[in-house]
A and B are shown apart, each in its own frame.
Chain A
């Protein structure tokens, strides 16, 4: 079921190459940039057709900025994006054509719908912009409403405020599908929903994926949901890729200490084995002044001298699984997990 980008010679559906986004912070009288937020700082990954790539990380790790960069909602500072081998934003793949292929669903179901348009008009708006006739667009909107579980006879003429959060998110999914895209970027698309409604929307997303042969980029902070949805998972930390690999491989044998800590922070769900220690102390550092070397070294149990000076690159752990950690690279000179550095760990809540 999962196609591996490494094993196939066909170009990946979506390729992201050394993507960088720095936000200057303006301050002072003449608005000269005084500092830079390195929101995304050299991110490279591929998305294969038909897979679901989960992206996880804490706030400020750059996962949502990455999503917005992919959609060209913000302009990258540098880096390249290719769709089916064609560089996006060039003659080979103009932005408008690209946006037909890649659509996005946001977290806030209300803010992402025009409050003055009926949901039917909202869904039909995209196709109309792309040259589909009004009656065909409306027909498509009604079919999609039906498909996402909202009876068009009852719902087509309603306004966003007349719907519940779960229903609105169904509308957003229908709207994203109205252009018949091949990739859907789901940026915390179920995070604002109640658990009982979340399950309904997740099931819908799985059904739609099978039916329309979609490829998903599933961004979430919820590790349970990401595990359930994704065939591969990418972990981000302070604008960098920390680890990427097939879901079960990553969840069962994580190679980056940050991934291990993140997984160790999942709640136990077992009253007899409650968490007794927090895997990490403190908050993630500020992306304005990220730590030198490996960005995780300030919170890492295993950090050695070289971690604060040299930045680790992504190193393959297995064919499809790689981690940006000196410990994953035997040639790095890192003394390894057994070293005395682990002893300095202070259990702090």
Chain B
């Protein structure tokens, strides 16, 4: 068993429900190794969450066209149907969301939901499933876990709900955990707790994790590699240190410099990326970032750049990346 646990090959996702097709993801290649955490970093509309949700096929099949392949342990998720898809979800790959209040069912206790998930995938008694739920609650450090299993989601605080959702996601011992901005809605002091918990669980359980975030700081805190997305493409990918300290794509460079770095810049103006992210229904030919890019040259406006290797693990999709 070697090679990546997850391989996404030339993934494109187009939403066809509206007046114009929206090309949310345009040719993403990504692999995740066993026990590795990759952060998908991008702004709203960059395709990071769409990519993530495609791995579990959470998009409405009638209004979505998925091209390319998503291989999880050599099984192509894109071709899974019906029962096989239900068996796959939660068992091999599971997901945690930004808003646990929407992800948890408000009319069942959290314990009931975890027990149901376990018994959906495994032949175990209710008592045994309850014991496992309790162990999971202890694992994610929910205080007085026995009592908390009987709680409804609305009876828990935000941080506690997020822990409960992590317990639910881990209930069937998946190998891959997908995290969609799980700390964005949390307060700063709670965010750190959840990030540290996820990092610890990932290491202890040997999970592979894809962590979608818009916050570079979160990516740095949890990830081994960072993939920066823009307009449905990965524009730069590499080990955290390389991407943070030696970014090569102009978008990554700009994104890092727009952060209000506190006291260092007080009183001055922040460097900005001019303009707005592109409309995904009307993507420009060539590089999607070219209209906002200070380094754009003629070729950028006509042909889309291919990913160029900068080192063994670091690459950027920019015509001028190797200059």
Return chain B residues, CB-CB under 8 Å to A275.
Answer: 192, 195-196, 221
Q: Given the known A-B contacts A203-B269, A247-B263, A251-B262, are A271 and B189 also in contact in the complex, defined by CB atoms under 8 Å?
A: no
Tell me whether A58 and B195 are in contact (CB under 8 A): no
- In the complex, per-residue mask of B213-249: 1 if CB is within 8 Å of any chain A CB, else 0: 0111110110000000000000000001100100000
Cβ of B302 < 8 Å from any Cβ of A? no
Tell me whether A269 and B192 are in contact (CB under 8 A): no
- Output the least CB separation between B165 and chain A (Å): 15
Query: A46 to B277, alpha carbons, bound, how many Å?
Result: 40
- Output the least CB separation between A272 and chain B (Å): 7
Cβ of B272 < 8 Å from any Cβ of A? yes
Cβ of A281 < 8 Å from any Cβ of B? yes
Return chain A residues, CB-CB under 8 Å to B196.
Answer: 275-278, 349
- Output the least CB separation between B219 and chain A (Å): 9
Q: Given the known A-B contacts A203-B270, A274-B220, A275-B192, are A267 and B215 also in contact in the complex, defined by CB atoms under 8 Å?
A: yes
Cross-chain contact of B260 among A225, A248, A261, A265 (Cβ < 8 A): A225
- In the complex, per-residue mask of B177-199: 1 if CB is within 8 Å of any chain A CB, else 0: 00000000001111111011100
Tell me whether B263 and A227 are in contact (CB under 8 A): yes
Cross-chain contact of B187 among A59, A276, A349 (Cβ < 8 A): A59
User: DSSP class of B's interface residues: helix, strand, loop or mixed?
Assistant: helix
Query: A199 to B265, alpha carbons, bound, how many Å?
Result: 12
Tell me whether A268 and B200 are in contact (CB under 8 A): no
- Output the least CB separation between A297 and chain B (Å): 16
Residues 232-275 of A contacting B (Cβ, < 8 Å): 247-248, 251, 261-262, 265-272, 274-275
Which bucket holds chain A's interface residue count? 35 or more
Query: A268 to B192, alpha carbons, bound, how many Å?
Result: 10
Cβ of A166 < 8 Å from any Cβ of B? yes
Query: A167 to B191, alpha carbons, bound, how many Å?
Result: 29
Cβ of B90 < 8 Å from any Cβ of A? no
Which bucket holds chain B's interface residue count? 35 or more
- Output the least CB separation between A248 and chain B (Å): 6
Tell me whether B244 and A349 are in contact (CB under 8 A): no
Cross-chain contact of B221 among A197, A202, A274 (Cβ < 8 A): A274
Q: Given the known A-B contacts A195-B255, A196-B43, are A251 and B192 also in contact in the complex, defined by CB atoms under 8 Å?
A: no
Cβ of A198 < 8 Å from any Cβ of B? yes
- Output the least CB separation between A125 and chain B (Å): 26
Cβ of A279 < 8 Å from any Cβ of B? yes
**CB nearest neighbor in A for B257:** A199
Cβ of A30 < 8 Å from any Cβ of B? no
Return chain A residues, CB-CB under 8 Å to B216.
Answer: 269
Return chain B residues, CB-CB under 8 Å to A225.
Answer: 260
Query: A165 to B277, alpha carbons, bound, how many Å?
Result: 11
Cross-chain contact of A281 among B187, B193, B200 (Cβ < 8 A): B193
- In the complex, per-residue mask of A135-177: 1 if CB is within 8 Å of any chain B CB, else 0: 0000000000000000000000000000011110000000000
Tell me whether A206 and B269 are in contact (CB under 8 A): yes
Tell me whether B187 and A284 are in contact (CB under 8 A): yes
Q: Given the known A-B contacts A195-B255, A265-B189, are A203 and B272 also in contact in the complex, defined by CB atoms under 8 Å?
A: yes
Tell me whether B217 and A267 are in contact (CB under 8 A): yes
Cβ of B5 < 8 Å from any Cβ of A? no
Query: A268 to B199, alpha carbons, bound, how many Å?
Result: 15
Q: Which of B189, B197, B218, B244 has the most CB of A within 10 A?
A: B189
Query: A266 to B272, alpha carbons, bound, how many Å?
Result: 22
Query: A45 to B58, alpha carbons, bound, how many Å?
Result: 49
Tell me whether B258 and A199 are in contact (CB under 8 A): yes
Cβ of B261 < 8 Å from any Cβ of A? yes
Return chain B residues, CB-CB under 8 Å to A203.
Answer: 269-270, 272
Cβ of A68 < 8 Å from any Cβ of B? no
**CB nearest neighbor in A for B239:** A271
Query: A286 to B266, alpha carbons, bound, how many Å?
Result: 35
Tell me whether B187 and A224 are in contact (CB under 8 A): no
Query: A207 to B268, alpha carbons, bound, how many Å?
Result: 10
Tell me whether A283 and B266 are in contact (CB under 8 A): no
Tell me whether B218 and A278 are in contact (CB under 8 A): no
Tell me whether A199 and B272 are in contact (CB under 8 A): yes
Tell me whether B43 and A194 are in contact (CB under 8 A): yes
- Stretch from B18-26, B103-111, B156-164 that touches the partner: B156-164
Cβ of B141 < 8 Å from any Cβ of A? yes
Query: A59 to B214, alpha carbons, bound, how many Å?
Result: 20
Known pairs A58-B190, A267-B217 / 15 extra A-B pairs, C-beta < 8 Å: A58-B187, A195-B255, A195-B258, A196-B277, A223-B188, A224-B260, A224-B261, A225-B260, A227-B262, A228-B262, A265-B188, A267-B218, A269-B217, A271-B240, A283-B187
Q: List 14 A-B contacts (CB under 8 A).
A: A195-B214, A195-B255, A195-B258, A207-B269, A224-B262, A227-B263, A228-B263, A228-B265, A279-B189, A279-B192, A282-B143, A283-B159, A283-B160, A349-B196
Q: Report, nearest first, the 6 A-B pairs whose CB atoms are least far apart.
A: A267-B217, A228-B260, A58-B187, A194-B43, A227-B262, A349-B196
